[in-house]
Amino acid sequence: MVGVTDAASSVMQKELSQLPWWKGAVIYQIYPRSFRDTSGNGVGDLKGILRGLDHIAGLGVDGIWISPFFTSPMADYGYDVADFCGVDPIFGTIEDFDAIVERAHALGLKVIIDQVYSHTSDHHDWFIESRSSRDNPRADWYVWADAKSDGSPPNNWQSVFGGSSWEWDARRGQYYFHNFLKEQPDLNLYNEEVQEALIAAGRFWLDRGVDGFRLDALNFSMHDRNLRDNPPSGVSAHEATRPFDMQLHTYNMSQPEIVGFIEKFSAMLDDYPGSFTVAEVGGPNPIEEMKAFTEGGKRLDSAYNFDFLYAPALTARTVIESANQWDQSDDEGWPSWAFSNHDAPRAITRWASDEHRDEMARLYMMLLLSLRGNPIIYQGEELGLPQANVPFSNLKDPEAIANWPKTLGRDGARTPMPWVQAAPNAGFSSADPWLPVDPAHSQLAVDQQQGNDSMLRFTAEALSVRKRVEALVQGRMRFSEGGDNSVLIIERRMGAELVLALFNFGDGEFNFPEGLVSAGDLLLSSRPLKEDPVKVSSIPARTGVWIRAV
């Protein structure tokens, strides 16, 4: 196999310099409530993010995504926005946010923030006016419908959080629609004025220096205007955790008109060269929407779904089936990948036993960084944090409370970031935090992971290697299995450069098939290898390796 010549490398570097910064970028997600508290109220804040930027930059990521910090009554902890252009006082001030942008840029980090365009808080001025009468200027800014003749809701749509998606409002004598909590009424994005108002909100933040957006629940942003009933999914009440799962969501979400709004929004982004957009796309069959939202160069840049976030186990086949939904054609959008985030139980708890948690955390980090696209690292993932244990009496998440004890819930992935093991609340806050600190997390605090053998140091090393190896950042991707579902082989190729990423999820040693690689440079291994790095022919159980073929 041929290595990369100096001339080829020079051409490659020139081509890469012409690509947008975000293509292959690694993004670090910050959940502000739980990152770091500097005010002593038990809730993380913007100044805490500012204080933690050096830690994030030290990892070697390319940008940060900050979950909502906007004005909100916090029914859904910030995803119920009451002012798209305001900072909630619990987090700080607009000047605090400006300081984050300035410092992040000085550290070489791009800044991505959430935008929630499918709904608002019921405390938003728009909704307060809309519900006041049927003929006010914003009467049609939300989704309103009359009751049936018997007083029941307009159709059978069910909320993600349980119960009907319709809430009666006596002021208007009508029902309003909410895909999520009743405190989160859905906007009517068919209304051109609503679209323009949301685009204006996006401009507000771009003008303050942000580098782009993560668009929350984007495929929930439009509904069937005929309000037709959803058909049944075939999932029984015994199998479902909520009525929402018992329907096919044919009419309450995922409408084709969403693409029109995306194109209008993206046209505005053209005024801000270098901006980046990534959409969250939920649902059982999201790939068609992900491609529609990102294809052709005139829509969004990237999208991610819940294939890995909700997967109860990780196998070679799981990875191959998800990633191969993208055909890597030139006009196709660019995928993003997340194994953990604020909406799902932490991956290490879903996928690994307690006995092998540490070694599997390293393997999973390497795998995330091996996929073609944008890896998204969730705060604490670089520390190997498992899902925290949150007693029922301490739960805050309405979904977790409603479904207890059927699911792990989201609170266990939202607990405070541990900074200093010996400090109160692991250095997160001087006051009792909004969610308790799991003692197991304190043992994994940042100050305890400064040694070279720590998960934190391994994450930084993996990111450093990836940044130097262009095939891992931009290269095309091809998969093969190693004979069973416990071994995954990924080929990343760019020009003449070929990197093999091999992952042994199993409990036994994996011997390379004949002809897999004749010789190579061992770039990284998640666990120590016994063999000569130039002649690696097998990898131990629960280990990942990157090998550059030469």
**Catalytic residue list:** 216, 280
What is the crossing angle of helices 46-59 and 94-106, to 10°?
10
Is beta strand 166-169 parallel, antiparallel or unpaired with respect to 174-177? antiparallel
Q: How far is CA 59 from CA 44, 338, 346, 461, 465, in A?
A: 21, 17, 20, 8, 12
Beta-carbon contacts of 526 under 8 Å, excluding residues fewer than 6 positions away, are 359, 362, 363, 365, 366, 458, 543, 544, 545
**Letter for the amino acid at 521?**
D
Q: Is 351 helix (H, G, I), strand (E, B) or coil?
A: helix
**Letter for the amino acid at 534?**
V
By C-alpha distance, which of 465, 470, 488, 474 is closest to 544? 488
Q: Are 199 and 193 in contact (CB under 8 A)?
A: no
d(CA 254, CA 305): 14
Residue 416: how many CB atoms within 10 A of its CB?
A: 30
d(CA 178, CA 90): 26
Residue 240: how many CB atoms within 10 A of its CB?
A: 14
Give the DSSP letter of residue 332: S
d(CA 321, CA 479): 10
d(CA 277, CA 299): 9
Start-to-end Cα distance in the chain: 5
By C-alpha distance, which of 131, 158, 132 is closest to 142? 131
- Beta bridge partners, 247, equal 232
Residue with tokens 């009451």: 82
What is the crossing angle of helices 455-468 and 357-368, to 10°?
20
**Letter for the amino acid at 192?**
E
- Beta bridge partners, 521, equal 548
Q: What angle do CA 234, 237, 238 make, to 5 degrees?
A: 105
